[in-house]
Amino acid sequence: MAKLEILHFPDPRLRNRALPVAQVDDTVRKLVDDMLETMYDAPGIGLAATQVNVALRVITIDVSDARDEPLVLINPELLATDGDIETEEGCLSVPGVYDNVRRASRIRVRALGRNGEPFEREAEDLLAVCIQHEMDHLEGKLFVDYLSQLKRSRIQKRALKAQRQAS
């Protein structure tokens, strides 16, 4: 396994739309394993392939306290959404920024697992929020897009300044 580099907002590659995985082969499984390692190392509770500059519809998630319940979603589709919940979100691609976002509180999702097996599952609260957040990444969308224009431009200015100082 290898740790992958995570793109940071406002990197334009975070705006790429991911393509469906045609076949879950060894290359995709390696991507999944590398994404899990990168996510656990960061540490984060979710990662989308878009964030590591791979334009494929692949997501890894683990919202468990013990960090031992990896969830892999390949080609995820939302089948149903219900309720709403507002939670403070953060993102490995927008370090240091946390803000409230409103999303569905219960979802039903269909996807393929690490070995290409199709499955459906229901999720609520934190897991539901996390799946929706990561699925947004596959569309080139970031949680800061839900914030006001003013907030977003402040976050962008701060991020660019931090990136200049780091380089």
Which residues of the chain form contacts with Zn ion (CB under 5 A)?
A: 91
Shortest distance in whole angstroms from residue 93 CB to Zn ion: 5
Shortest distance in whole angstroms from residue 136 CB to Zn ion: 8
Looking at beta carbons, which residue is closest to Zn ion? 91
| Residue 120 CB partners (closer than 8 Å, separation 6+) | 79, 108, 109, 110
CA 16, 57, 27, 45 dihedral sign is positive
Element (H, E) at 152: helix 149-166
Q: What are phi and psi of 114, to 5 degrees?
A: -60, -30
Polymer length of the chain = 167
Shortest distance in whole angstroms from residue 91 CB to Zn ion: 3
Q: Which residue lies nearer to Zn ion by CB, 32 or 59?
A: 59
* Active site members: 134
* CA 25 distance to own-chain centroid: 21
Residue type, 137: H
